[in-house]
């Protein structure tokens, strides 16, 4: 037998090790499930802590995320930042916009009240300027006090100096807001006797007073294009319905409505506004 034939045959055996039990990769799946559950938990806790309006906006987003994304060219949505809001699914977006407007109204109201209080002596001891954020928007009322000749002389549409000062202070604060203005004039129920022969009545008087206020506001910096309506309501929206002749029923109302496609509603009397909020 040759040496070549005597060479030993080497056999190489490879042992294939199959991992199993706790030494395998199944723990990774369990860990991923755990992390996902914790993320969902914290997301729920985050949403629970939000205000109702934001919750409604997020609910609308998850109800129709495709519709939302189509309406935002830069990724803007109730739960992300961006620009270029779209038209699709506008209702929740309007809720968010309304919330921002309400906060802006509240800030302006605080500044107005502080400035008007500091100028009380110059405006008039019996003068009352009421600033409220209502369901309609920001409402400001110049209310007659005392004998009823604080802002206007009796049966006159000529503004007194205190009324002009108050309106100039109001105009300064309202210039920074984009909202439209609705100006209304109100009288008490005492008939306008001086105009019996000419047909001039409380309707004309309330309209003239509202227009007088408009002119001062525009002269103090309010863009005339923002004035959406000037109304004279005579004694149809009494502040004190229990006493129609109360001088407090004589007032000028300024409403800045929330942004909406709907026309601004008439400014309600104070009692009506309170009942609307309670209801």
The domain segmentation of the chain, as residue ranges, is 26-77, 93-278
In this predicted structure, what is the pLDDT of residue 60?
66
3-state secondary structure string across the chain? CCHHHHCCCCCCCCCCCCCCHHHCCHHHHHHHHHHHHHHHHHHHHHHHCCCHHHHHHHHHHHHCHHHHHHCECCCCECCECCCCECCCCHHHHHHHHHHHHHHHHHHHHHHHHHHHHHCHHHHCCCCEEEEEECCCEEEEEEECCCCCCCCECCCCCCECHHHHHHHHHHHHHHCCCCCCEEEEEECCCCCCHHHCCCCCCHHHHHHHHHHHHHHHHHHCCCCHHHEEEEEECCCCCCCCCCCCCCHHHCEEEEEEECCCCCCCCCCCCHHHHHHHHHC
How far does CA 168 lie from the centroid of its chain? 23
| Greatest CA separation for the chain | 151
Cα–Cα distances in Å, from 268 out to 18, 88, 98, 121? 81, 33, 20, 28
103-114 as b/e: b if 16+ CB within 10 A: ebbeebbeebee
- Distance of alpha carbon 247 from alpha carbon 3, whole angstroms: 133
Query: Which residues have C-beta within 8 Å of that of residue 119, sequence separation ≥ 6?
Result: 165, 166, 169
Q: Which CATH number fits domain 93-278: 1.10.510.10, 3.40.50.2300, 3.30.1330.60, 3.40.50.970?
A: 3.30.1330.60
Per-residue tens of pLDDT for the chain, all 279 residues: 555 556 667 766 666 655 555 555 677 778 888 888 888 888 777 777 776 666 666 666 666 655 554 444 444 454 554 444 444 455 566 777 788 899 999 999 999 999 999 999 999 888 899 999 999 999 999 998 877 788 998 888 999 999 999 999 999 999 999 999 999 999 998 887 765 567 889 999 999 999 999 999 999 999 999 999 999 999 999 999 999 998 899 999 999 999 865 444 555 555 554 444 444
Quote the Cα angle for 5-10-16, to 5°: 155
- Distance of alpha carbon 44 from alpha carbon 40, whole angstroms: 6
Question: pTM for this structure?
Answer: 0.61
């Amino acid at each position: 037998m040759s040496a070549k034939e005597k060479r030993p045959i080497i056999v190489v055996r490879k042992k294939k090790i199959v991992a199993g039990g706790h030494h395998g990769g199944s723990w990774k799946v369990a860990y991923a499930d755990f992390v996902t559950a914790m993320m969902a938990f914290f997301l729920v806790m985050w949403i629970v802590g939000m205000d109702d309006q934001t919750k409604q906006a997020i609910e609308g987003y998850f109800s129709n995320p495709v519709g939302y994304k189509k309406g935002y060219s830069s990724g803007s949505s109730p739960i992300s930042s961006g620009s270029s809001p779209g038209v699709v699914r506008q209702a929740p977006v309007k809720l968010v916009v309304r919330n921002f407007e309400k906060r802006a109204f509240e800030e302006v109201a605080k500044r107005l009240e502080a400035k008007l209080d500091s100028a009380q002596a110059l405006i008039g001891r019996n003068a009352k300027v009421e600033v409220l954020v209502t369901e309609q928007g920001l409402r400001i009322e110049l209310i007659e006090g005392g004998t009823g000749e604080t802002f206007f002389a009796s049966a006159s549409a000529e503004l007194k100096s205190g009324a002009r000062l108050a309106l100039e202070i109001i105009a300064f604060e309202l210039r920074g807001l984009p909202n439209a203005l609705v100006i209304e004039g109100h009288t008490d129920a005492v008939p306008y006797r001086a105009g019996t022969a000419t047909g001039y009545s409380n309707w004309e008087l309330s309209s003239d007073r509202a227009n007088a206020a408009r002119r001062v506001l525009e002269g103090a910096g309010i863009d005339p294009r923002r004035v959406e309506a000037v109304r004279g309501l005579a004694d149809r929206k009494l502040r004190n319905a229990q006493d129609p002749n109360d001088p407090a029923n004589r007032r000028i109302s300024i409403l800045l409505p929330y942004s909406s496609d709907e026309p601004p509603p008439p400014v309600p009397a104070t009692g009506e506004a309170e009942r609307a909020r309670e209801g």
